[in-house]
Chains A and B, each alone.
Chain A
Amino acid sequence: MIDAEFLINTLSLGSLYALLALGLVFVYGILKLVNFAYGEYIMVAGYGLFLLGSYTALPLWVIMILSVLLAAAVSYLTEIVAFRPVRTKSLTAMLITSFAISVLLQNAALLFVSPRSRAVRLPAAFSQSITVLGVTTPLRNVLTIVTAIVLLAGLTVLMKYTVLGIAMRAAADKFTTTRLMGVPANLVISVAFIISGFLAGVVAMFWIGRSSSVDPLIGFAPLLIAFIATVIGGMHSLAGAVAGGFVYGLLFNMLSILLPASVISYRDAFMFVIVILFLLLRPEGLIKGSYTEERVG
């Protein structure tokens, strides 16, 4: 069963899930906030594709870039407008705020566009197939893997070798002490949201690339996957999120192959059983990480 096709499928699914989980953990690491509006940044990028594609004559690749940037901008905006004012109050206040943003963005899409799904156009390359390692696979899958490699490498350089990255890792460890070094609190938090939104935007291109359509509730499934992947991999390090994404992709594909056809539709239930097992047996996830639980004050 472990053939080249399985490998490519798993790598591409894992890459997508790793980027998803990473976006969630970037914000969690610093604010200790599970941002429930994260899935809506994906939706926003989807509507960016739809609106720009319908009402402008821009080339598709320009539309894609703009849509990814739109997700990053909306993420940044939610930080400034909604999270910043409640940041020092309590974690509960922030959680409720993130629910509110999620519902608000969904309703905006319902109201201003449509409750029904809308078709989006993506470059032809997204639906073409190519043959690698003797396997014919959608080019999209290969693009996912390449994108993940490029982004993970870029983020690694950012986090390891730039002062901003060092400051962000420090802030995830001890937020107040990081400020005592002169690092502005707003800077690290804003950057975390921008990176988070950017990753959501990139994921949106591939997520929406499968169905070529977008609807107001499209953000829910990816949010859930990101959440489960971080439970598996560990909430407390960026490496854990990436590992969790790949392990999730692997488990999912293995279940797809191993489960008899009669129960395949219960695959999600099996995934949840695995998650519960992780929570029971290894609550800190695969990679323990070193972030403390200190909250932003």
Chain B
Amino acid sequence: MLSVKDLHASYGSIKALHGIDLEVNEGELVALLGTNGAGKSTTLKAISGVLRPVVGSVRFADEEIANKKPEAIVKKGISLVPEGREIFTSLTVAENLRLGAFSSYQRSRYQKDLEEMFALFPILEERLNQPGGQLSGGEQQQLAIARALMSHPKLIMLDEPSLGLSPALVDQIFELVSALRDRGSTVLLVEQNAERALKIADRAYVLKNGRIKFSGSPQQLESELDLASVYFGGEEGKGEVTV
């Protein structure tokens, strides 16, 4: 479904991605792991068109989408839940959700979609007419995910959805992400919480310094690689892993 080949990206003169290869098949939940600064968010930004120009190929549903505008990419069915939630703080919860549906709005299904979101995130219904900025961090995260789902994405990309949430909420978010996959969505998940992410992922990639250092099943990853090194950026444990 999504196929990234030899993707290079930079911020001005600073190169952040040095040739990423990555596949996400339809119906899969793929985890993208790595230390701080490894290039996880950059990868998602490059795929979603926020960071341009990039060098390399990004194919989605058999169409080249590299260097297309973000508004065009979301129309094709890729929705990003950005790092740090990026809620519209001065807009109400209802208005945030309405914009989420902007790219694929259909009057006939809008109300039904809203009710589906309220079933997933009851708090949003209670706060419907409050500004997004008045929500707590966890509530904002729920709003950010709901907002992305409102566009009926074929592929949803989540950038650290559990960051800064209480343990109970983290559980809830991970349950939700695996529920998304179970109901047929395709998910690309960036996480700091590697252990939790690997529990629900079908496949995983590990990024380091802008390069893919590992790809494979969660079981392979756990046996071949010292998780702590993936995560805390320490020395690589059990020998060099090559892809």
Contact = CB atoms under 8 A, between A and B. Distances in A.
Interface of A: 163, 166-167, 169-170, 173-174, 176-185, 289-291
A170 B103 contact: no
B86 A174 contact: yes
Interface size class of B (residues with CB under 8 A): 20 to 34
Given A183-B71, A290-B133, A173 B88 contact: yes
A54 to B, nearest CB: 45
Majority secondary structure of chain A interface residues (helix, strand, loop or mixed): helix
Q: Choose among A166, A169, A184 the residue with the greatest number of B CB atoms under 10 Å from its CB.
A: A166
Interface in B116-162: 133, 147, 151
Given A166-B98, A179-B69, 12 more contacts: A163-B102, A173-B91, A174-B86, A179-B70, A180-B48, A180-B74, A181-B102, A181-B103, A183-B102, A289-B90, A290-B89, A290-B90
A100 to B, nearest CB: 26
B73 to A, nearest CB: 9
Interface string B45-60: 0001010000000000
B82 interface: yes
Contact of B102 (A176, A182, A185): A182
Contacts of B95: 166, 169-170
Contacts of B100: 181
Interface of B: 48, 50, 69-71, 74-75, 79-80, 82, 86, 88-91, 95, 98-100, 102-105, 133, 147, 151
Given A183-B71, A290-B133, A177 B82 contact: yes
B74 A181 contact: yes
22 contacts: A163-B98, A163-B102, A166-B95, A169-B90, A169-B95, A170-B99, A173-B88, A173-B91, A174-B88, A177-B82, A177-B86, A179-B70, A180-B80, A181-B71, A181-B99, A181-B147, A182-B103, A183-B71, A183-B102, A184-B71, A289-B90, A290-B89
Across the A-B interface, the 10 shortest Cβ-Cβ residue pairs: A182-B103, A290-B90, A179-B70, A177-B86, A182-B74, A181-B99, A182-B102, A170-B88, A181-B102, A166-B95
Contacts of B133: 290
B216 to A, nearest CB: 30
Contacts of B71: 179-185
Contacts of B104: 182
Nearest to B45: A176
B141 to A, nearest CB: 14
Nearest to A166: B95
A174 B133 CA distance: 13
A249 B48 CA distance: 47
Contacts of B70: 176, 179-180
